[in-house]
Structure 1
């Protein structure tokens, strides 16, 4: 199974996302977070991710006659390369994007189901912005975001810190949205 098929399955994508932020989790802890995934299915998907080297066992301990394993994400193995993305057809991209959006919806549902929600306190936000950028300006914008985000990715769990998910989607607007209007071209 190639990494695209492996990582873009909706359940495996949610498993990988649960480990983001350098988290270590047991299968029981992961099961509690992804409570809507049947345990048998969760174990099968975990096994596939371990076999592919995406998840690694960091500790093992005996618990009531069984071995409890703690796993960590190998971020370098959880990547889809630009060449692999280029090889996908429109339906594959549609399926992958739907898996991504399903993960966003599941995360937001879990947030809402907590009961004690406060959008301002929790820093919850979602919006769509439109920016007029040529290709060079867009590349600069993405580089600026990387400079801001990358140092924070090195943060580890610590008292007072909450794991926060940042999701980005960049989509060029449809035809007819170029800055040069028909009247300007005449």
Structure 2
């Protein structure tokens, strides 16, 4: 994936489209439009075309629906893997933009959760957000991340059912550098 494709992925609408397709494996234009909410159809098609042009998604089939040809999209390559590989090649500004778009995506997901509800019960809905300050060695951190990854991998292939709700789990890990106090300070 080239730098232009990475920049293309920084757009929150495109990120949402890619997430939807990644989650389902394939998605029709109608399914993508439903998850993208109030985005005008022309805008959605413009973003789909940009993702196609950047070789991030591809059309894997076309269905005839009431006389209209509906495209089915899939991820052409795993953009997250490519971002992970190239993240050290990105400038500080580009990494900041990627992170900002990730946060915007989270805010959009949270807004979607909040919209249409008269009241919110985070405990009943099994929703939440937390920040845990942990003192870990690099080895302890990698062990913990491996455990989290293993737990997620076990569940990635779960199919939707009447018992299962779609839940998004997002992780952010930030090393926190504290200024060390001089021995003379109390």
Q: Normalized against structure 2, the TM-score is what?
A: 0.84
**Superposition pairs of residues 60-139 of structure 1, within 5 angstroms:** 60-74=62-76, 76-115=78-117, 117-139=120-142
Q: Distance in 1 between matches of 2:155 and 2:117?
A: 28
Higher relative contact order (CA 8 A, sep 6+): 1
Secondary structure of residue in 2 paired with 1:4 = helix
Q: 1:163 aligns with which of 154, 163, 166?
A: 166
**106-115 or 2-11: bigger deviation:** 2-11
**Equivalenced residues, count:** 181
The DSSP-based 3-state class of the residue aligned with 1:99 is helix
Instruction: List structure 1 segments (4+ residues) > 6 angstroms apart after TM superposition.
Output: none
Q: Which runs of 5 or more structure 2 residues have no equivalent in the other structure?
A: none
Q: Which residue number corresponds to residue 34 of structure 1?
A: 36
- Write the distance in 2 (CA, Å) between the matches of 1:79 and 1:4: 11
Q: CA deviation at 1:66?
A: 2.2
What TM-score does the superposition give when structure 1 sets the normalisation length?
A: 0.84
Q: Aligned residue for 1:49?
A: 51
- Tell me the distance in 2 between the aligned counterparts of 1:89 and 1:73: 25
Q: Output the CA distance in 2 between the equivalents of 1:123 and 1:56.
A: 35
C-alpha RMSD of the superposition: 2.4
In 1, Cα distance between equivalents of 2:114 and 2:107: 10
Greater Cα offset, 99-108 or 151-160:
151-160
Given the superposition, is the C-alpha separation of residues 110 and 82 from structure 1 closer, same or farther in structure 2, using an over 3 Å criterion?
closer
| Structure 1 residue 87, shift from structure 2 partner | 1.2
Residues in 2 aligned to 1:160 and 1:58: alpha-carbon distance in whole angstroms = 30
Any stretches of 5+ residues in structure 1 without a counterpart?
A: none
